[in-house]
Structure 1
């Protein structure tokens, strides 16, 4: 186990990484071009996540710079207690030790997630996808350079070039200690990790997010929230896939017609239930299983629902436990919805696209957890720690 680096050293490495990313900007983008050209798949959201351009490099630099400015998450006192026998007891945050991050196609994770894990005192094992190998290896080379220049061991950041079989073997019988695994990617990857991992896993689960347009909704707010949630970034897990429209919404048909025409401007494929598929541009779907699906595509389902309670029940049955939003001017109805919908983030009159570490005040994020242990929603710097009891005595025995 690596000895915890001082916060000064950790911050210096992060700031050095920011400098190196700026210096090597052109090299990173040109190496990434080779990864993009070699990608033979037809998954547009995968391609979007794989791509590194100037704005992605800017985001990487901002991520490590911001991390360096944040308080040390390790050693923070959470609780203290003076025992009647005179012992002084503290509970403080502590790093996990070694965190393994398994991810697909996103070279920015090699910067941001590794940076969050490193700042919180952890050794990082990175297992990226083969489609982004060249980009990832270049970024890891910069991590090693930053560590070297600040007198720290390059062991703090390690890249695992494993195929699927080797990954499975490592998960089941790690050749080094692993304290926590964070898989970031599709449902198949997450299921694979959960099935084989011998240590705790934080699941960054599927999106499949819902917007419920309540009968007392402000219609222009509803349109803005749905269009933003669906079309701003289809590869994001916080995108909208399902819309429930209250059957008692005044002038409902006009609202649906306007929504259809706005979605069609972005070439979104629209599917609907028995009620909404009566509209010419909405196709009916064959099975209710579609309500479970996360699309990561220009595709949406619009259905009708008869009440807030029914909307809550439907979302709790089908959603991925990620994000949901109610559009209403009735605060009491919003409160009922927000307290009873079982998703990591609940919104009132706002877009689900804000479920993101940076947008929710955490700086960056390691992942967005749809589990309830030990952190739910975006996992920031302050969540990538466990805790430890410090007990000071002078000879007390029990």
Structure 2
């Protein structure tokens, strides 16, 4: 039996044991995991520093190094995320009545775990804690295959969680880390369809494409985050500036950062003059259509087909549109089904925007940076689905379950 076959088989076996645990026991284990992460901060940060040193030696992009970095604050955020998961209702076993048929059989649905979830990710060590906790509460085993950039950090976090599992007589295989980032092992992992039920890749577009093209297991897809802020003709421009700055500059290397600004022509003159000041102060590089470029020093003029880039940096694309419909059209063409924002005081326009825009999260007068599992009350997220099967948007506990039919009768037979 190969390493990958053994790991996936052990995870599937462990998942059947987890399915028997009640909610109180799962919550107790998770509470202790959160505290164990806090107590192990020094150990985790030390291992992370080794990953960071290698990343710098290999000239990784600043956005990747940002995602890779762990510190006291980020480890505390992981612990708090687990504690929020503890506070959430357990979806496993929830019943939904469907109907009673004329012949008397009663039909309902019950939420059940998916089984084994495989996470494939790059420089995101926090995924280890987030995915481990979410899968544990939702009754799933999880296999974590991180990139070489985050391997020591991921193993450190997993080892802390394993100690808590073992304390409670539970198998460490519930949260398994692939110890070798070899690409051949990844290819083998994506063929384990008898033991793995779902693959969730998190990383750049190249990783998502690679997994989608090579996996024989269903894949949750999230290719990129090209998020827009549309500033409507009835926007509060002070609010719009705050949304722009928060969405673009608070943290650039994340998928819910703003990459596009769409401006209604009726307020373009006033608003873009404001933008020119604040974006220059923040050191944001501006790419724009010919009309918007006039307001900025050294703006790069984009052709109509050059929008839609995911910059992951202090860089943004700006488009002036003639009307509301023009904004909808631009977002439909260049968005990535991730997160779209409208700033407006017109409630009718806000509601129409939310109905019309095809994105997993559509916001009114709120920062794109809230498009995150923890910010939306999911505790943590295991990923963000920008395709619609079987989840759409940030994936929390419920997205890690499915429903099975329960049929109860009194001896009825089909005629």
Structure 1 length normalisation: TM-score?
A: 0.95
User: How is 1:217-232 mapped onto 2 (pairs within 5 angstroms)?
Assistant: 217-232=235-250
Query: Is 1:34 paired with 2:53?
Result: no
Question: Structure 1 residues 175 and 309, CA, compared in 2 at 3 Å: closer, same or farther?
Answer: closer
Residue pair 1:205, 1:368 contacting (<8 A) in 2 also: no
| Inter-partner Cα distance in structure 2 for 1:97 and 1:149 | 23
The SS at the match of 1:136 is helix
Q: Which segment is superposed worse, 303-312 or 382-391?
A: 382-391
| Alpha-carbon separation, structure 2, partners of 1:244 and 1:87 | 55
Rounded to whole Å, the distance in 1 between the matches of 2:60 and 2:201 is 22
Q: Is the Cα contact below 8 Å between 1:98 and 1:179 reproduced in 2?
A: yes
Q: CA deviation at 1:362?
A: 2.0
SS in 1 for 2:154: helix
Unaligned runs of 5+ in 1: none
The range that moved more, 158-167 or 52-61, is 158-167
Residues 1-398 of structure 1: matches in 2 within 5 Å?
A: 1=13, 2-3=16-17, 4-6=19-21, 7-39=23-55, 40-160=58-178, 161-171=180-190, 173-174=191-192, 177-249=195-267, 252-398=268-414
1:330-380 Cα offsets, whole Å, 9 max, x none, are 222222222111111112222111111122222221111111122211111
SS in 1 for 2:349: helix
Instruction: Quote the Cα distance in structure 1 between the aligned partners of 2:302 and 2:246.
Output: 27
Over the residues paired in the alignment, what is the CA RMSD in angstroms?
Answer: 1.7
Unaligned 5+ segments in structure 2 are: 1-12
Q: Is this contact kept in 2: 1:15–1:65, CA < 8 A?
A: yes
Worse-superposed segment, 286-295 or 317-326: 286-295
- 1:279 Cα deviation after fit: 3.0
Q: Deviations over 1:216-259 (max 9, x none)?
A: 2211111111111100110121111111111121xx33421221
SS at match of 2:388: coil
Contact 1:205-1:322 at 8 Å conserved across structures:
no
C-alpha distance in 1, partners of 2:193/2:397? 27
Provide the rounded CA distance (Å) in 1 between the counterparts of 2:192 and 2:100: 40
Q: Is the 8 A contact 2:131 2:142 kept in 1?
A: no
CA apart distance, 1:175: 7.6
Structure 2 Cα separation of the partners of residues 354 and 280 of structure 1:
28
- Greater shift after overlay, 75-84 or 332-341? 75-84
Deviation at 1:215, TM superposition (A): 1.6
DSSP-derived class of the 2:277 partner: helix
Query: Using a 3 Å threshold, how does the CA distance of structure 1 residues 77 and 314 change in structure 2: closer, same or farther?
Result: same
Q: Residues of 2 paired with 1:55 and 1:168: CA distance? A: 35
Q: Quick check: 1:276–1:282 contact (8 Å CA) kept in 2?
A: no
In the TM superposition, residue 25 of structure 1 has moved relative to its aligned partner by 1.1
User: 2:290 aligns to what SS in structure 1?
Assistant: coil
Q: In 1, Cα distance between the equivalents of 2:346 and 2:200?
A: 39
CA 1:268–1:224: 2 relative to 1, 3 Å: same
1:32/1:176 Cα in 2 relative to 1: closer, same or farther (>3 Å)? farther
